[in-house]
Amino acid sequence: MDAAPAAAEAHDGQRERFDLGVLVGDLALDEDVASDEDESLEGLRQELDDCKDDEEVANILANGIKLRDYTKGVENNIRQIELDSIQDYIGESENLVSLHDQIRDCDNILSQMETVLTGFQTEIGSISSEIKVLQEKSMDMGLKLKNRKAAESKLSKFVEDIIVPPRMIDIIVDGEVNDEYMKTLETLSRKIKFIEVDAMVKSSKALKDVQPEVERLRQKAVSKIFEFVIQKFYALRKPKTNIQILQQSVLLKYKYTIVFLKEHAKEIYAEVRAAYIDTMNKVLSAHFRAYIQALEKLQLDIATSTDLLGVETRSTGFLFSMGKESLKTRSSVFALGERINILKEIDQPALIPHIAEAKSQKYPYEVLFRSLQKLLIDTATSEYLFSDDFFGEESLFNDIFAGPIQVVDEHFNAVLLNCYDAIGIMLMIRIIHQHQLIMFKRRIPCLDSYLDKVNLSLWPRFKMVFDLHLNSLRNANVKTLWEDDVHPHYVIRRYAEFTASLVHLNVEYGDGQLDLNLERLRMAVEELLVKLAKMFPKQKLQTVFLINNYDLTISILKEAGTEGGKAQVHFEEVLKSNISVYVEELLLEHFSDLIKFVKSRPSEDTASSSDKASVSDVEPLVKDFAGRWKAAIELMHKDVITSFSNFLCGMEILKAALTQLLLYYTRITECVKKINGGSALNKDLVSISSILYEIKKYSRTF
């Protein structure tokens, strides 16, 4: 084995000369090897290819050793190694025998362990069966325990619900009605319901012993509750009793008594309910009747059936026969004034009559109406909420308030039947509307039908009174109404104040029917105004009269608010038209020849040569104007001052007249410039600047 590496190292230079072809050639020559091997030449080549990189094979081939010899050497080596191994085995035989014994002992031990484990397995199987049996017994015992607990619970509850403790008997029979009594009543109610509802109880023997006692307790409780509640109801009838405080602080505290009666004594509950209805009906009716009687002492009469727009009112004797308070009252017939404040005080507390009476105060009826309705809606709200809370019945309210509403209706219908105050009626309509909104916000519907009924009563009455005013204008006697005075007529002032009041009250509501009625009223008063104007002999006085009345009407309508309505627009148009007529009449009175000349002349552009003016035509006009124009303007100024009661309106009219005069004079000056020889008249022409100066001067002083 050592010679081969040495030979490999000795012939290392020659190793490259041996290749596969040489090896194949050598093997082909060896016939003995070819005869012993079954492998084909092709298979041998494949193996040689696989072994060509093997280092050992390469060394053998490099040394030129024959394979057979090399094989024999290898066999000898193996044989030697085998002999050495046998010697080693013989040397270790004792150890092997010991190892064999140990293995045999281990096998015996494992056999014993197997026997023990097999026994364990058998015992474990037996234990598993026992555990399963125990588990089944445990589940069975658990189910029995659960059933027993359920039975115990039901039985315990049954005993608790059906038993009547001595303490409960003492409280129901001898105790006072207080918080503890209320709790005991609840317990008794549960026991009664338990006995009546539960089918199991009806079949139990315990019921025979308990039911009579429970029934006696129920009767005793009902009797005591009835006496207690009726006594509290009677307390409501005492004079000067604050009903709401008694309801909230006392009755509501014991409202369970009513629940108990409703559930366990329906007949007694019906008696209690009827007693409360009767009590509150009488008490509230009496309160409202007394309140109305007190309010009637505070009423200030505003209008009568004769206080109409078109009714004659002579200033002589009439004004001096009336006191200051009466004059103030009469002015409120048609003017809204401070009466509008009642709508701003809509949610204020109701009047306290004895305080107002002590101060000797009087009020228009709408103030009393608001207080009465305010008291009614507040009382109704409180009673409605209490009835719902205490009795659990909203319908109870209608039975209670049938009396109070009847008292209020009787009073209101009597007042409305004799009411001729149209503004007051409209204020009441607005008050009812505001109260409807208040009840809507409170979400209290109990007075809806009542408020609707009052509203439906007010509108026909308003229409009737309004038609009285309308007919008074249509049927007015012009001869008795006419006064030889161009200043505003008192009928027109009434109309303006009346219309302004209704327009103001309709601004936020936009009632089309009211607007239509106001339009009818405007047509009637305008027709009357024209008739009154025609009573003046001169056209100029008629125009002045119309202007003064139109101007007054517009001023009053503007005072009512930013929106004077359609009437204001109409009167502004007719005022403008009449001012134009007056301006022409005023100028004709002082400069008639000049104006007629200007109006009679055609335009200079279209005029023919024969139509053109001459110096002789315009000279008298120019000189006349130059000689008296300032005096004429002064007279116009005085005329306007004495004719028109409204200085501002008079100033505007004077300015319009002077402006129109300036336009007329400008046209005649232009005519003079275009006339042949007209320059000779320049010395007599008044300068336009002079006229403008006078216009400004009067504008400042007026």
Amino acid (1-letter code) at residue 66: K
- The helix/strand/coil state of 485 is coil
Tally helices (H) and strands (E) across the chain: 29, 0
- The model's pLDDT over 620-663, given as tens digits with 9 standing for 90+, comes to 888 888 888 888 888 888 888 888 888 888 888 888 888 888 89
pLDDT at residue 93 is higher than 90 = no
pLDDT of residue 472: 93
- The model's pLDDT over 402-450, given as tens digits with 9 standing for 90+, comes to 999 999 999 999 999 999 999 999 999 999 999 999 999 999 999 999 9
DSSP assigned state of 18: -
Token readout for 58 is 């390469």
If you average pLDDT over residues 671-693, what whole number do you get?
A: 80
Average pLDDT, the chain: 82
| Distance in angstroms (rounded) separating the CA atoms of residues 227 and 271 | 11
pLDDT of residue 28: 41
If you average pLDDT over residues 594-608, what whole number do you get?
A: 69
Could you give the count of Cα atoms lying within 13 Å of 544 in the half-sphere of its Cβ? 22
CB contact at 8 A, 309 and 494 = yes
Percent of the chain residues past pLDDT 90, beyond the cut: 33
How far are the Cα atoms of 329, 357, 364, 382, 459 from residue 302, in angstroms, in the given order?
A: 6, 18, 7, 34, 19
Amino acid (1-letter code) at residue 105: D
Closest CA to 664 of 613, 606, 596: 596
Closest CA to 517 of 650, 425, 455: 425
Total-model pTM: 0.71
Q: Say if residue 553 is exposed, middle or buried (CB neighbours under 10 Å; 0-12, 13-18, 19+).
A: buried
| Distance in angstroms (rounded) separating the CA atoms of residues 372 and 632 | 65
Token readout for 425 is 């009626």
Angle between helical axes of 448-474 and 422-442 (0-180°, round to 10): 160
Closest CA to 64 of 15, 134, 135, 122: 15
CB contact at 8 A, 241 and 287 = no
pLDDT of residue 513: 87
- The model's pLDDT over 305-362, given as tens digits with 9 standing for 90+, comes to 888 998 887 543 344 334 444 444 556 788 888 899 999 999 999 999 888 888 888 9
pLDDT of residue 678: 67
| Distance in angstroms (rounded) separating the CA atoms of residues 504 and 213 | 74
pLDDT at residue 689 is higher than 80 = yes
pLDDT of residue 669: 85
| Distance in angstroms (rounded) separating the CA atoms of residues 131 and 8 | 82
CB within 8 A of 449, min separation 6: which ones?
A: none
Would you place residue 375 in the very low, low, confident or very high pLDDT band (cuts 50, 70, 90)? very high
Could you give the count of Cα atoms lying within 13 Å of 250 in the half-sphere of its Cβ? 16
Closest CA to 656 of 640, 671, 670: 640
CA angle 192, 261, 214 (to 5 degrees): 30
DSSP assigned state of 488: P
Would you place residue 609 in the very low, low, confident or very high pLDDT band (cuts 50, 70, 90)? very low
pLDDT at residue 272 is higher than 90 = yes
Token readout for 685 is 């022409």
| Distance in angstroms (rounded) separating the CA atoms of residues 259 and 263 | 6
DSSP string for 301-368:
----TT--TTS---STTTTTTS-HHHHHHHHTTT--GGGGHHHHTTTSPPP-HHHHHHTT--B-HHHH
DSSP assigned state of 299: B
pLDDT of residue 201: 63
Q: 471-485, 550-564, 625-639: which has the minimum mean pLDDT?
A: 550-564
How far are the Cα atoms of 132, 136, 143, 146 from residue 139, in angstroms, in the given order?
A: 11, 5, 6, 10
Closest CA to 172 of 235, 214, 233, 121: 214
- The model's pLDDT over 169-201, given as tens digits with 9 standing for 90+, comes to 888 888 888 888 889 888 888 888 777 766 666
Token readout for 122 is 């058998």
How far are the Cα atoms of 98, 100, 114, 518 from residue 110, in angstroms, in the given order?
A: 18, 15, 6, 128
Would you place residue 458 in the very low, low, confident or very high pLDDT band (cuts 50, 70, 90)? very high
Cβ neighbours, 10 Å, residue 483: 13
Q: Write out the H or E segment, with its range, that includes residue 612.
A: none
CB within 8 A of 488, min separation 6: which ones?
A: 548, 549, 551, 552, 645
Compute the Cα dihedral for 535, 539, 540, 546 and give only its sign.
Answer: positive
pLDDT of residue 62: 67
pLDDT of residue 316: 35
- Beta partners for residue 299, in sequence order: 363
Token readout for 308 is 């109409």
CB contact at 8 A, 401 and 446 = yes
| Distance in angstroms (rounded) separating the CA atoms of residues 621 and 635 | 19
For the chain, the straight-line distance linking the first and the last C-alpha, in angstroms and rounded, comes to: 158
pLDDT of residue 287: 94
* CA torsion angle 179 180 182 184 (round to 10): 170
Q: Write out the H or E segment, with its range, that includes residue 6.
A: helix 3-10
* CA torsion angle 648 649 652 656 (round to 10): -160
Closest CA to 363 of 309, 294, 284, 432: 294
pLDDT of residue 5: 42
Could you give the count of Cα atoms lying within 13 Å of 277 in the half-sphere of its Cβ? 17
CB contact at 8 A, 158 and 201 = yes
